[in-house]
Structure 1
Amino acid sequence: MSITINLTPELEARLQEKATQQGQDISLVVSELLARVLDWETADTAEAVKAIQQGLDDFENGRFRSFDEFAEAQRRKYNLPATE
């Protein structure tokens, strides 16, 4: 399949440089980069959904803390001043 996209001159130059460094055709480099990004996005979305579900399950089962407890833990962890 053939897709036409418009690139900025800077991005095209970066892609061409990468292709030259790898000794590959620019089309192959772009295709591989897009495949990696799409794979990463799919995995990232799945991880986010899993984490959100875990948080909802924890809340339903009473495993949570108040905002004040959370804020205090963050202040201690990052050595932040107490708010008044």
Structure 2
Amino acid sequence: MIQVKAKRIVDGQGRVVLPKAVRKKLDIQPEDRVIVIAKQDEIVIKKHVDQVEEEKVCYVTGVASAECQPFSGGIELSKEAALLLLEEMKSKQ
């Protein structure tokens, strides 16, 4: 496995340039789609591969699943995340 470590600066629009070695290793070409997943204190970027049933990433848990449902504001939530949010709301009443 090739590991590439590089420092990058996030520009004013939130963009980061992927190192050439990473793009080459994952065969990421201009206009390809990628999936960005936030996991606690790290960001995971995966090349998007079209699937029959596209997995969506839960806004709360960061877990990709075809079972995530869209809610107002365009966020995707898993059933687990929805239940967590409900419990949190009840505890604050």
| TM-score, length basis structure 1 | 0.31
Higher relative contact order (CA 8 A, sep 6+): 2
Question: Counting strand residues as a fraction of each chain, which structure ranks higher?
Answer: 2
For normalisation by structure 2, the TM-score amounts to 0.29
Higher helix fraction: Structure 1 or Structure 2?
1
Bigger radius of gyration: 1
